[in-house]
Structure 1
Amino acid sequence: MKVTADRIEGGQVVLNIAVEAEEMEEAIKKAYSRMGSKTIVPGFRKGKAPPAVLERYFGRDAVVEDAAEHLLPEVYEQAIEEHEVDAIAQPQVEIIQINPLAFKATVPVRPTVELGDYHQIKFKPEEVVVGDVEVEEALEKIRYAQAPWEPVERAAKFGDLLSIEVEGKVGDKSIASEKEGWYQLSPDQPQPVPGFAEQLEGAKKGEERTFTLRLPEGQEEFGGQECEFKVLVNEIKEKKPPELDDEFAKSLGQGFDTMDALRETITANIKSKKELEARSEIEEKALNAVVDLANVEFPDIMVQQELEHLAEE
């Protein structure tokens, strides 16, 4: 087999492959055997008809075409391996002649990348500063998380935790019934339906409220219909955040003896996070700069396939 390989524009390599006559004859012998094993020729057992008879039965051209059809992918794979062609898709094949087989394969290859002068790319990370407001906000989150829920004797407001009994009906059919469930009152709360939380704002312990809300359209069976709710408020609780003092720091159980020690750790954690974010931002900017400087040659077939994909969308 003779092979030449030439790189052309458009991210492709052209292989000119010519099979030796001896190799072609061997492929034709295999074709006779392959075709004969699948055919019953009158006067012969299946697979026992000699080549001369098979040639008269099928015709010489059919046998040669079968040989070439099976030989082509074999010699193509051998050619791209020998010439280290990094094919990324099936080639376009042009048959030059059938016997002995000769063809041209235009092969799309992996895109080549020429990096620009990336040594000129320099980014200086900004100095990371942790403000007092950031530390205090982090402390408030910890403080709120550690706060217990305690009963209160006042009207419910957003942020409270309510013990409620709920019954919901669409017409005469009950679709919701719950005894002694806990419900945190939050504005714009979508559960159980939008507007439910707002109807309970201002309710007092022992008060029963009746109101009607439209169920979301996406709900099965009752979507878009009016639902009448009856809600009994059994108890109201609120968060009682502890004082931010040394005792609070000790209560966290992480070795803090003072609030100053807790603030130092929080400051260090925030700084570490911001430094990591800053580093990631610098890396992304550097990568984008390298890509902008690089020259990438994509195979024409990849570009065409992407255009066809976009057109289909």
Structure 2
Amino acid sequence: MKSTTESLSPTRVKLTIEVPFEEFQPSLDKAYKTIGAQITIPGFRKGKVPAAIVDQRIGRSAVLDEAINGALPGWYSEALQQAEIQPLSQPEIDLTKFSDGEDIEITAELDVRPTIELPDLAAIEVQVADAEVTDADVDEQIDALRDRFAVTLDVDRAAADGDAVTIDLVARDKDGADIEGADAKGLPYTIGSGTLLDGLDEALIGLDKGATTTFSTELVGGELKGTPVDVTVTLNDVKERQVADLDEEFVQTASEFDTVEELKADVRERLVRGKRMEQAAEARDLVLEEVVGTVEAPLPETVVAEELQGRREQIMQQLSYAGISFDTYLEDEGQTAEEFEAELERRVRDSIVAQFVLDQVVADSEIGIENDELTQHIIMQQATVKDASGTVLELGKLRADGSIADDEVETTDESADAEPEVSEESDKA
């Protein structure tokens, strides 16, 4: 078998595959066995029917069709390997020459990745947000930790801000009719969290256990989002949440540290690492955006259409799960259907170009990187990334945990990790 490649466009090629008939013979023999095992001929066991009898009963053309259909995928795959082509779409295959006893010719047209001329990544400079961590940031994290270790105690008083309560809810329209699906029983809620309905916190504060009250609000989700309703809430249970004091006893209970200062230092370091990871993600996106905006990348329209359809179906499925109609979604986004489609297509095209850019980085790289994250890491190593103060960030040395690798320290660490030698004198000591 031999194949030739013809470029039809920067994103589409035509493979011509030529197969001598003698190379087709094994596929033909297999087809006879397959068909022979499926038919019943008096005087012959299944699978043992001679080829001549199969031709008489089924027809030679049926056997040829069976054989060619079985052989085509292997020939196509081998041709791709010979041409070193990575297809982006299913091929359009045409059997151009196929006569019994003669050489076979097949053509296959398919979409391929274009070759992209990348800009000088070292000339790209982007700016990301600072990785500053304030005392307030640290306090917020520690307060959240204290909140997770809070205990609840029964109280004999009216509900107050911060209490953990259990409630029943029933929503009715302005005509007094219950709204289907807009009710709940035994619902846990923390007063002041603001995670449910507007007006709920105000309705609960000052309410006694077992009491019921009604307030007006609007529904916040589903098909009836924004619908004015009257909500009747019953307070079933009230518990006061007590948050532990920030002292050494709490620190030793809630963490691996002994003192408040040690805990705060660890929280600050973790926040700094998280900020660095955010910087890296922002830098990656900005560098890719810069490259995507400058490269000339022809796109195969069949790939764009398939990706566009897939994205569209994904969005519709998510809206369906959320109980939101497409019209409601458009209203919330302030878009027309035409604007939605235009924006979706723009995002799809940009994402395909971005993937082509990453693929080209792989192709141009002297190290065989395959992972997108590694590719993006290579991009950040070459580009210049600064924070808002103008400081150049060494994000190319960023570890997976958000720490920055230090070449000298890493060399020292590797030496320290080596197995220490113990002399005989030491053993005898």
- The two structures have a TM-score, normalised by structure 2, of 0.48
Q: Give matches, 1:170-189, under 5 Å.
A: 184-186=190-192, 188=194
Residues 158, 186 of structure 1: 8 Å contact kept? yes
Residue 91 of structure 1 deviates from its aligned partner by 1.5
Unaligned runs of 5+ in 2: 171-182, 223-228, 317-429
Taking the aligned partners of 1:11 and 1:157, their CA distance within structure 2 comes to 66
CA displacement at 1:93 relative to structure 2: 1.2
The question of 1:118 aligning with 2:121 is answered yes
Question: Residue 126 of structure 2: SS of its match in structure 1?
Answer: coil
- Counterpart of 1:80 in structure 2 is 80
Equivalent runs, 1:125-274 vs 2, <5 Å: 127-131=130-134, 133-134=136-137, 156-160=159-163, 184-186=190-192, 188=194, 190=196, 198-202=202-206, 209-211=211-213, 229=234, 237=240, 239=242, 248=247, 252-253=251-252, 254-256=257-259, 270-274=271-275
Contact 1:112 1:297 in 2 (8 A): no
The residue aligned with 1:92 is 92
Q: Within the alignment, does 1:305 sit opposite 2:306 as a pair?
A: yes
**Contact 2:11 2:298 (C-alpha < 8 Å) held by counterparts:** yes
Match of 1:123, SS state, is strand
The structural deviation recorded for 1:97 is 1.8
Q: In structure 1, what is the Cα distance between the partners aligned to 2:295 and 2:83?
A: 27
- How far the C-alpha of 1:86 sits from its partner, in A, is 2.1
Q: Deviations over 1:217-257 (max 9, x none)?
A: 99xxxxx9986847687xx8575875x8xxx4676343337
- Partners of 1:53 and 1:263 lie apart in 2 by 87
Structure 2 CA distance, aligned partners of 1:82 and 1:94? 19
Q: What secondary structure, in the 3-state scheme, does the structure 1 residue paired with 2:108 have? A: strand
Name the structure 1 match of 2:282: 281
- Residues 4-53 of structure 1, C-alpha deviations (whole Å, 9 max, x = no match): 12233152331112221333456555545544454455x75356665555
Q: Distance in 2 between matches of 1:132 and 1:274?
A: 15
Q: How does 1:35-74 map to 2 (within 5 A)?
A: 35-40=35-40, 45=44, 50-52=50-52, 54-74=54-74
Name the structure, 1 or 2, with higher relative contact order (CA <8 Å, separation 6+): 1
Question: Matched residues in 2 for 1:133 and 1:293: separation?
Answer: 41
Give the letter for the 1:158 counterpart: D
Q: Equivalents in 2 of 1:161, 1:268: separation in Å?
A: 32
- Superposed displacement of residue 103, structure 1: 1.7
- Quote how far apart the aligned CAs of 1:273 are: 4.0
Rounded to whole Å, the distance in 2 between the matches of 1:48 and 1:153 is 90
Query: Is the partner of 2:285 in helix, strand or coil?
Result: helix
Deviation at 1:297, TM superposition (A): 4.2
**What SS class does the counterpart of residue 277 from structure 1 fall into?**
helix
Asked if the contact 2:93/2:106 (under 8 Å) is kept, the reply is yes
Residues 115 and 156 of structure 1: is their aligned pair in 2 closer, same or farther, counting only changes over 3 Å? Answer: same
Alpha carbons of 1:269 and 1:64: their partners in 2 closer, same or farther (altered >3 Å)? closer
- Equivalent residues of 1:208, 1:232 under 8 A apart: yes
Secondary structure of the equivalent of 1:70? helix
The match for 1:107 is 110
Bigger Cα Rg = 1
Q: Tell me if structure 2 keeps the 8 A contact 1:6–1:13.
A: yes
Kept after mapping to 1: 8 A contact 2:153/2:242: yes
Contact 1:4 1:15 in 2 (8 A): yes
Shift of the alpha carbon at 1:122? 1.7
RMSD: 5.1
| 1:164-216 deviation digits (Å, cap 9, x = unpaired) | 9x8999xxxxx9999xxx975436564xx986654442357xx86454679x9
Partners of 1:6 and 1:17 lie apart in 2 by: 11
SS in 1 for 2:125: coil
Q: By how many angstroms is 1:92 displaced?
A: 0.8
Please state whether the residue corresponding to 2:289 is helix, strand or coil.
helix
Stretches of structure 1 lacking an aligned partner (at least 5 in a row): 170-174, 219-223
**TM-score, structure 1 as length reference:** 0.62
Distance of 2:150 and 2:59 partners within structure 1: 92
Distance (Å, rounded) in 2 between the aligned partners of 1:11 and 1:273 = 40
Structure 2 distance, partners of 1:232, 1:59, is 82
Deviation for aligned residue 1:54: 4.5
Counterpart contact for 1:158–1:187, Cα < 8 Å: no
Greater fraction helix: 2
Q: Which residue in 2 is equivalent to 1:290?
A: 291
8 A contact 2:89–2:112 mirrored in 1: yes
Which stretch shows the higher mean deviation, 149-158 or 290-299? 149-158
Would you say how many aligned residue pairs link Structure 1 and Structure 2? 287
Which residue type is aligned with residue 109 of structure 1?
Answer: V
For the 8 Å contact 2:214–2:230, the answer to whether it is kept is: no
Residue matched to 1:172: none
Secondary structure at the counterpart of residue 73 of structure 2: helix
